[in-house]
Amino acid sequence: MEVNWTRKDLLSLYDLTPEEIVLILDTAEEFKKVSERNLKKVPALRGKTVVNFFVEPSTRTRVSFELAEQRLSADIINMTASSSSLQKGETLLDTVRNIEALQADLIVMRHSCAGAQNFIAKNISSGVINAGDGAHGHPTQALLDLFTIRQKKGRIAGLNVSIVGDILHSRVARSDIWGLIKLGANVTLAGPSTLVPRDFEQIGARVCHNLKDAMVGADVINLLRIQHERQRAGFFPSTNEYARFFGLNKENARYLKPDAMIMHPGPINRDVELDSALADGPQSVILEQVTNGLAVRMAVLFLVAGCLKK
């Protein structure tokens, strides 16, 4: 069955059909080859303007998008909250309507409020790509995770994928869960009960509060980053305590299948959620995730740009 991309925005994996997700992954396969060439560039977005509007700061995602845009030959404008008129009291919608009035084709946007991009996308004709909205979603991160799993394991359906850490506050986890379930994986979530509430069982994930349960039988284990900077409210006693109970280390690694794949969205807190040697070991695909992120973002930019009116 031929699938066509018909969305001017990429807001959430929750909105997409499995076929649409697979179309992005297939398109990314093609773009991955571009980054492996000597001349890492195609003219697909030449003469198009992409505005990277990061109301919440970011480096890894911003740089990955910016490189993806350059390799598609787009014109690029970078805006941050501090460099926008938001600081002068302009409403978010006015700021974005101004960007639209400059005939920006695409806006790649990160915002600390869940749903900000949905609101914006409804109100402007430019395409909107969600680069992270609060704790809600981070669809391109989930897509690069799906891409990496599919490339390494040959499939996603039927795999046992465990996600460990602060699921409650993680937009990465939320997007991963939606994507994995849509493509037929069995998802297990593990972490302290304060951070992994039972509610997630309602969307089809298995919840456990014990690392070993998440490791045994897993084809893939994805360790989330403990975000010290968000850890105001004391959801766990200390980083040491977290590492002891939910950190993957050389000792408890024996519960993993020999071919289990270790993932991490980065940046790593070495020896907190993940032992340093394991992060650099043969089971780790962490740097491949970074490489694949570029290909996936090129695919998303390309597909979305193809659905714009002009």
Using the rule CB under 8 A, is 56 a contact of a copy of itself?
no
For a copy of itself, the binding residue among 17, 30, 33, 83 (CB under 8 A) is 83
Whole-angstrom distance, CA of residue 253 vs CA of residue 16: 35
Range in contact with a copy of itself (rule: CB under 8 A) among 73-81, 109-117, 163-171, 173-181: 73-81
Site string for a copy of itself, 287-306 (x = CB under 8 A): xx-xx--x------------
Q: Which of 155, 228, 244, 250 binds a copy of itself (CB under 8 A)?
A: 228
What are the distances in angstroms from CA 296 to CA 25, 27, 35? 7, 8, 11
Could you tell me if 45 and 301 are in contact, meaning their C-beta atoms sit under 8 angstroms apart? yes
Closer residue to a copy of itself (CB): 85 or 194: 85
283 binds a copy of itself (CB under 8 A): no
Report the residue from 44, 63, 113, 208 that binds a copy of itself according to the rule CB under 8 A.
63
Asked whether position 101 contacts a copy of itself by CB under 8 A, the answer is yes
Q: How far apart are CA 11 and CA 118, in angstroms?
A: 6
CB environment 190-202: b (16+ within 10 A), e (fewer): bbbeebbeeebee
Among 8, 71, 136, 182, interactor with a copy of itself by CB under 8 A: 71
Question: Using the rule CB under 8 A, is 77 a contact of a copy of itself?
Answer: yes
Interface with a copy of itself (CB under 8 A), residue from 102, 157, 203, 277: 102
The reply to whether 270 sits near a copy of itself by the rule CB under 8 A is: yes
Does position 29 interact with a copy of itself (CB under 8 A)? The reply is no
Q: C-beta of 152: minimal distance to a copy of itself in Å? A: 15
Considering only CA atoms, which of 217, 269, 219, 218 is closest in space to residue 247? 269
Task: Pick between residue 177 and residue 248 the one whose CB is nearest to a copy of itself.
Answer: 248
Give the range of 12-20, 85-93, 180-188, 241-249 binding a copy of itself by CB under 8 A: 85-93
Which span (14-22, 77-85, 149-157, 160-168) binds a copy of itself, by CB under 8 A?
77-85
Near a copy of itself by CB under 8 A, which window of 62-70, 126-134, 195-203, 243-251?
Answer: 62-70
**Residues lying near a copy of itself in the complex (CB under 8 A):** 35-41, 46-49, 57, 59-60, 63-64, 66-67, 70-71, 75-77, 79, 83-85, 88-91, 94-95, 97-103, 228-229, 266-270, 287-288, 290-291, 294, 310
